[in-house]
Each structure stands twice: as C-alpha cells, then as structure tokens.
C-alpha cells in the first residue's frame, strides 16, 4: 500500500470529481439499504387482514429506492471509473515524458521490452486500482456502515451472530494479500521478460532466420511463457480458493441468524417482516465480503506494479543542466562555434563498469572549421570520445570546453542544436524519407532536404523510388540498403545545418568513391563547419586537417597524414596494411 501513496498527486488533481463520486457512493448505499425496510413493512402489513393500497404504497417506495440506487450507481461509475481513465492518460504521458529526460546510460542497462511492459501492463494494473479498486473499496465501506447500522437497529444480538466470521475473514484477507502481492510481482516480471524477448527477436528476425535459430528462439519463448503461465495459474488458484472461502463464509453466517431469528419470531420479539429485512441485509453484506477479496487482489497487483513504475520514475538523468548558464550567455559561446573545442585531461568510464577506464588523460584542441579524424583499433575509445561532444555522457574527470566555457555550463538544448551527430548505428523512423531527413530541424533555419540529400549523395537514389522523398520507410528503414541508410542519416544531420558535425564511422557502408565525394561535398558546402570524423579508411582521413590516433583510451599520436607517416608508428602500420589489402584486392 505504501507504494500507492505516490498516486496522491494524481488523485488530488481530480479531487472535485472524485468527491462527487464519493457522494454518489453514499447515496447509492443509502437508497440500497433503505429499500428493504419498505419491503419488511409490506410483509408485516400482509400478516392479517390488510389494506392493499398500503401494501402497494410500501412496494412502490421499495421500487423507487431501488431505482434511485441504480441511477446513483451509474453516476458513480461515470465519475470514478472515467476519472481513472483520465489519470491513466496523465500517468502514461508522465511516464513517456520521463523516459525522454533520462540519460543514455539508463538505456544502456534497461531493455526496451522492459520499459514497454511497465508502460502498458503495469500501468493497466495501477488504473484498475484507481477505478474499480477505489470505487469498490468506498462502496464496501459505506455498504458495511449502512447495513450494519440498519441491522443493529433491528436486533443487536442477531448482528453479533452475523459478525461471528469477521475475525477469520480479517486474518484470511491479510494472509492472502501477502501471497497475491508476491505472485503479482513475479507475474509482472515474467511479462516484462517476455515482452523484451519478443521485441528483440522481431527486431532481429533476419539474423534468426539466417542462422536457422527459429527452434532455439521458440524454446526460449516457451520457457518464459511457461513461467508466466504457471505464475498466473498459481495466482488464479489463490484467488479461486479465497473467493470460494468468502462465499462459503457468507452463506454459513446466515445459519445462526435464521436460527436465532426464528426463535425471536416465535417468542414475539421480532416480526416476520423484521427477520426478512434482516436476512436481506445479511445477504447485502455478501458482496462487500466477496469484494474484499477482489479489491485485495487489485490493490496488491497495483502495489506491485506501482513499485516497478516507481523504479523508473526514481531514475534521474545524470547529464543535466544543473550547472548551465542562461541560454543567452551560452548562446554567445555557441554562435556558429566561434572558437575552439578543447578536451582538457578528460577521463571516462561507463557507469556499468566504473573500474574499467575507457578514456584516459585525453587533451587536444579543435579550431573552428577544422576537419579532424579519429582513428584507432576497435575498443580504443573513439565512439566514446565523440559521444562526449553532445553530452550523451559527461566526463568522469577533466572537462570539455567551447571558447573556454565548460560544456556543462551550456544548456543541453542549446548545445545539441549546434551538433549534427551521426552514430554508428543508423536509425530511421517508419515515416517518409523527407520527414526522416527533416526530423531534427523543426522550425529553425537549416539546409533544404534536397540540398542536404545532394551533399550526402542520396538524392539520385531517392529519385529512383516511385514516390521520391515521400516514399514510406519500413521499420528502421528496412527498404533501404545499408549505404542508403547511412547517407539518409548524414543528410538528417546536415539538414540541421550544424556548427559541429560528428560522423562516427558513418561512411563504412558506402564505397570509397562515394565516401570521397561526400567528404568533398562537406568541404565545399560547409567550409566553416567543424567536422569530427571516425573512420577506418586511410583514404578518407588522409585529407583531414588533423588526425588523432587513439590506443587503449589514450592519444598515441597526433598530426597530419604526412607527419604521422614520417613517425612510422601505429598510423603508418595501418596505412601500410590498407595499401597491401588494396593491392591484393586489385590483383584478385
């Protein structure tokens, strides 16, 4: 229950509507409990010679109060159940908005299927609590209060007989609630694992088919699905036993009531109408008794679900604007990157592996309009280094500056509006090519989609499609080749008209000639744009103003292509190997 206190702000937001819902709950139970009194009076009137009009009047009042109870119950559902849908809407918006604020490191350790599960299945469980859970809890409370009040007014002793099972009921609700909560959390975790597996498997379905791993993946799914099935079956058994127990307990509570009530009728201390009215009230308590089990199930499931949602909401971005200056001040530094970018003794380790340094004592300066290449072996820290420029991560030690101003003092939105970033993994949305390229620009000035696609050497390929730039792409751009995807991502970054363009091995899927023409286009069309390029091809990086060689997270050497060849170190060896590969390829 403690986990559900986090929902108080949402309940307060709709407190007026919920208050009216509570009023209608009270009215519903008042009318429902008042109705049997008229029925009891009608039965007593028929005990001897009676006036038909009086009996009909009592029967009419009974029907009226029953109808009023039905009308107010409809209003209860309209007020409370509909409000639960509004809160669900707010919760989903807040959940999605919160995910957008979290840093890259959060997504490094959290699967997308897990997040989807929590945003759907867990949120549905919370909504069940906010709607039926709250409604039936309040309804049960007032039904008990009104019915017990009416029963005590008829016969305190019979009321005591009717309440004999109450201690046993309280104990069973407590014990069953603990079991349901534990089982519900396991079920939610099972569902998240299944969602994660399915999402991952469908995304990689071509790999699965290429390697004939369908039986293996089916077996994995069946294992997870079996756990999910068994846990759900176990929960259903607990619920079934509990509901059967409550029903039996309610029925058994009538035995002493009828026995003692019959004695009272025989000795004249109660009327037949009175005992009939009392039995109706005891029957009225059967649904509250049963609903206690149902509400207990809803509350425990919601508590487990809210605990899982809270784990996400409790995450805070570790890349923030905490030290940022006003955007006008920061904007001065970022005006077309008028100044140099400098790395000053930068150290970095990933949060998941804090004891393994990825970058160590990195220091260098990039002047405006400079074309810088970063080369090195796989795992040397190249991608990590460029990820620090748009602050996807922050350095563990040291700092990165623009015009001498620490990047952490520049608002993230201001900084990222100046950086065009093309990561190693090309991602395209299921939308038109035009909207994919124009994705980041929005309303700000930038290159035209056509112009950006020409520089990226994509324009002619797009025009070969029947719908041109209005061609709809499949999931992750499946209907484009690897090279076309890369060029579309480059065009997207260019359309932003960035002051700093970062290409993280973004030309690996295009041929050498196309790569050279793209790079020449960048030099020609964006002469003042600073470019940081990661590439394994010497044919590309040799034309850069400066080449930085990384080795095991450190700068091993730095200089122009000619200077590094003279040094005869790692870069020279790499150059020699690539020349040999080209010669062998030409001979073949």
Query: For every one of its 588 residues, what pLDDT tens digit does the chain have, with 9 covering 90 and above?
Result: 677 888 888 889 999 999 999 999 999 989 988 888 887 777 777 766 667 777 788 888 888 988 998 999 899 989 998 999 999 999 999 999 999 888 888 888 888 878 888 888 888 889 888 888 888 888 888 888 888 888 888 888 888 877 777 677 767 776 777 777 778 778 878 888 888 888 778 777 777 877 788 888 889 889 989 988 998 888 888 878 877 777 777 777 777 777 877 777 777 777 777 777 887 887 777 777 667 767 877 888 888 888 888 989 999 988 888 877 775 555 554 554 556 889 999 999 988 788 888 999 999 999 888 889 999 888 889 999 999 998 999 999 999 998 888 898 888 888 888 888 888 888 888 888 898 888 866 555 556 888 888 888 898 889 998 889 999 988 778 888 888 888 898 898 888 778 888 998 887 778 777 887 888 787 777 778 888 998 888 877 888 889 999 988 999 999 998 888 888 788 888 888 878 876 776 666
The per-residue b/e assignment along 329-364, b for 16 or more CB within 10 angstroms, e otherwise, is ebeebbeebebebbbbebebbeeeeeeebbbbebeb
Residues 6+ apart with CB under 8 A from 78: none
How far apart are the C-alpha atoms of 331 and 399, rounded to whole Å? 19
The sheet with strand 546-551 has its strands ordered as: 419-422, 500-504, 530-534, 371-376, 546-551, 554-559
Cα–Cα distance, 356 to 354 (Å, whole number): 6
Rounded to whole angstroms, the Cα distance separating 62 from 78 reads: 25
Query: Would you state the pLDDT for residue 331?
Result: 52
Q: Among positive and negative, which fits the CA dihedral 18, 19, 25, 31?
A: negative
- R_g of the chain, CA atoms, integer Å: 36
Residue 402 pairs with which residues in a beta bridge? Answer: 341, 405
- What dihedral do alpha carbons 532, 537, 539, 544 form, nearest 10°? 20
Cα 278–284–285 angle (5° rounding)?
Answer: 100
- Domain range summary for the chain, segments of one domain joined by +: 2-313, 327-418+503-510+535-588
The three-state secondary structure class of 242 is helix
Q: Residue 336's pLDDT is what? A: 43
CATH superfamily of 2-313: ABC transporter type 1, transmembrane domain (1.20.1560.10)
Q: Show the tokens assigned to 144.
A: 């008990």
Q: Which two tokens stand for residue 400?
A: 């990165």
d(CA 205, CA 202): 5
How far apart CA 257 and CA 280 sit, in angstroms, is 11
Rounded Cα distance between 173 and 176, Å, is 5
For 117, half-sphere exposure in the C-beta direction (CA atoms, 13 angstrom radius) is 21
**Contact residues for 377 (Cβ-Cβ < 8 A; gap 6+):** 551
**How far apart (Å, rounded) are the C-alpha atoms in residues 318 and 380?**
24
Question: Are the beta carbons of 295 and 137 closer than 8 angstroms?
Answer: yes
Do the Cβ atoms of 296 and 177 come closer than 8 Å? yes
Q: pTM (2 decimals)?
A: 0.78
- In this structure, what DSSP letter does residue 428 have? -
pLDDT at 348: 94
* Protein fold of 327-418+503-510+535-588: Rossmann fold (3.40.50)
Structure tokens at 396: 């563990």
Q: What do you get for the CA distance between the two ends of the chain, in Å?
A: 72
| C-alpha neighbours within 13 Å on the C-beta side of residue 491 | 28
- Both tokens of residue 303? 């508590």
All residues at 6 or more sequence positions from 465 whose CB lies less than 8 Å from its CB, including other chains: 433, 471
User: What's 472's DSSP letter?
Assistant: B
Looking at 267-394, list the stretches that DSSP marks H as alpha helix, in order from N- to C-terminal side. Answer: 272-284, 286-313, 327-333, 382-387
């Amino acid at each position: 229950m403690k986990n559900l206190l986090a929902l108080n702000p949402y309940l307060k937001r709709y407190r007026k509507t919920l208050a009216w819902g509570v009023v209608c709950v009270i009215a519903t139970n008042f009318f429902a409990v008042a109705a049997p009194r008229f029925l009891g009076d009608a039965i007593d009137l028929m005990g001897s010679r009676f006036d038909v009009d009086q009996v009909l009047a009592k029967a009419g009042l009974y029907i009226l109060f029953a109808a009023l109870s039905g009308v107010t119950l409809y209003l209860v559902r309209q007020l409370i159940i509909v409000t639960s849908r509004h809160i669900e809407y707010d919760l989903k918006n807040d959940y999605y908005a919160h995910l957008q604020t979290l840093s890259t490191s959060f997504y490094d350790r959290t699967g997308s299927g897990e997040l989807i599960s929590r945003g759907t299945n867990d949120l549905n469980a919370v909504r069940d609590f906010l709607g039926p859970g709250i409604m039936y809890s309040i309804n049960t409370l007032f039904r008990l209060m009104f019915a017990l009040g009416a029963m005590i007014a008829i016969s305190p002793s019979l009321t005591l007989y009717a309440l004999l099972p109450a201690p046993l009921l309280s104990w069973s609700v407590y014990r069953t609630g603990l079991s349901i909560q534990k089982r519900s959390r396991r079920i939610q975790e099972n569902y998240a694992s299944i969602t994660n597996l399915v999402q991952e498997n469908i995304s990689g379905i071509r790999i699965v088919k290429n390697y004939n791993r369908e039986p293996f993946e089916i077996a994995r799914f069946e294992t997870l699905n079996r756990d999910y099935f068994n846990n759900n079956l176990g929960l259903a058994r607990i619920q079934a036993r509990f509901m059967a127990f409550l029903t039996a307990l309610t029925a058994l509570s009538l035995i002493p009531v009828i026995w003692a009530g019959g004695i009272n009728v025989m000795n004249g201390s109660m009327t037949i109408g009175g005992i009939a009215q009392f039995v109706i009230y005891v029957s009225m308590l059967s649904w509250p008794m049963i609903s206690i089990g149902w509400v207990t199930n809803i509350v425990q499931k919601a508590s487990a679900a809210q605990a899982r949602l809270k784990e996400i909401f409790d995450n805070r971005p570790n890349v923030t604007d905490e030290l940022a200056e006003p955007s006008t001040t920061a904007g001065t530094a970022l005006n077309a990157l008028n100044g140099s970018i400098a790395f000053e003794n930068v150290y970095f380790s990933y949060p998941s592996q804090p004891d393994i340094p990825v970058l160590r004592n990195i220091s260098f300066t990039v002047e405006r309009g400079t074309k810088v290449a970063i080369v090195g072996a796989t795992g040397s820290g190249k991608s990590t280094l460029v990820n620090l420029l748009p602050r996807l991560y922050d350095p563990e030690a040291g700092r990165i500056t623009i015009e001498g101003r620490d990047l952490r003092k520049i608002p993230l939105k201001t900084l990222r509006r100046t950086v065009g970033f093309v990561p190693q993994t090309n991602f395209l949305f299921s939308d038109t090519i035009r909207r994919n390229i124009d994705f980041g620009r929005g309303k700000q000035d930038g290159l035209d989609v056509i112009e950006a696609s020409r520089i990226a050497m994509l324009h002619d390929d797009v025009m070969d499609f029947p719908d041109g730039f209005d061609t709809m792409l499949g999931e992750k751009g499946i209907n484009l080749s690897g090279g076309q995807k890369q060029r579309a991502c480059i065009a997207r970054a260019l359309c932003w008209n960035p002051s700093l363009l970062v290409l993280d091995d973004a030309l690996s899927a295009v041929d050498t000639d196309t790569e050279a023409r793209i790079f020449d286009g960048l030099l020609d069309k964006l002469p003042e744009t600073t470019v940081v390029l990661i590439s394994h091809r010497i044919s590309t990086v040799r034309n850069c103003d400066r080449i930085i060689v990384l080795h095991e997270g450190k700068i091993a050497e730095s200089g122009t292509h000619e200077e590094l060849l003279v040094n005869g170190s790692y870069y020279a060896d790499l150059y020699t190997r690539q020349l040999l590969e080209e010669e062998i390829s030409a001979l073949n």
